[in-house]
Structure 1
């Protein structure tokens, strides 16, 4: 095995960490789309950028990228971003309710017993 092949093989074994590292260093949602070469509508991203990235993270949590070659790890990340983006093209952040605050806004409220103060306690 030549030094070039060994270097290439070593780079492939680090690939998931490399693409994940690049994504972690990205400063904006647009950079995610550019790094992974995913086409997007700026209007959708402007409205749902945090929601898209949060959903991407949820989807990535279910992926096992360890030991994958660079091209495959990047392709999986791209597919996950495309899937997350598609969720918000088809519906709104309010419909998707990715964040806890939005989930809690529609969660059924548990009925509370009315506060009761007996007349004897008022003396």
Structure 2
């Protein structure tokens, strides 16, 4: 299967700004500057999550435009830490464990050492 003009156009795009301009989506450069990788990753995630990909080039272009606009809008209303697009933001924070002092003294007195 040969690549469509749309696929070839997409291959030429490299930045979030390129994608937003290609799909004619108005954007605030300061929002994109701070969130460009997050927007592109969210856009990719939305594409991967699409239930059905239209074969018609114009329909696919419309779908992509809508998904990119949604990805951009996510970061107009929120931020990278809240959205947790990348794994590093989803990793569990260190867990603190509380051990009652009575339990520690009981283990020391009985000679039991748990590490």
TM range (shorter): 0.7 to 0.9
Q: 1:59 to 1:50 in 2, by over 3 A?
A: same
C-alpha distance in 2 between matches for 1:74 and 1:23: 10
When normalised by structure 2's length, the TM-score is 0.72
Instruction: Please list every run of 5 or more consecutive structure 1 residues that lacks an aligned counterpart in the other structure.
Output: 1-10, 113-123
Give 1:62 deviation, angstroms: 1.8
Alignment correspondent of 2:25: 38
C-alpha offsets along residues 64-94 of structure 1, whole Å, 9 cap, x if unaligned?
A: 3252x22111000000000001100000111
Aligned residues: 99
When normalised by structure 1's length, the TM-score is 0.68
Alignment correspondent of 1:121: none
Runs of 4+ residues over 6 Å off in structure 1: none
Give 1:19 deviation, angstroms: 2.6
Q: CA RMSD in A?
A: 2.7
Give 1:96 deviation, angstroms: 0.6
Q: 1:20 to 1:54 in 2, by over 3 A?
A: farther
Alignment correspondent of 2:66: 79
C-alpha distance in 2 between matches for 1:44 and 1:71: 28
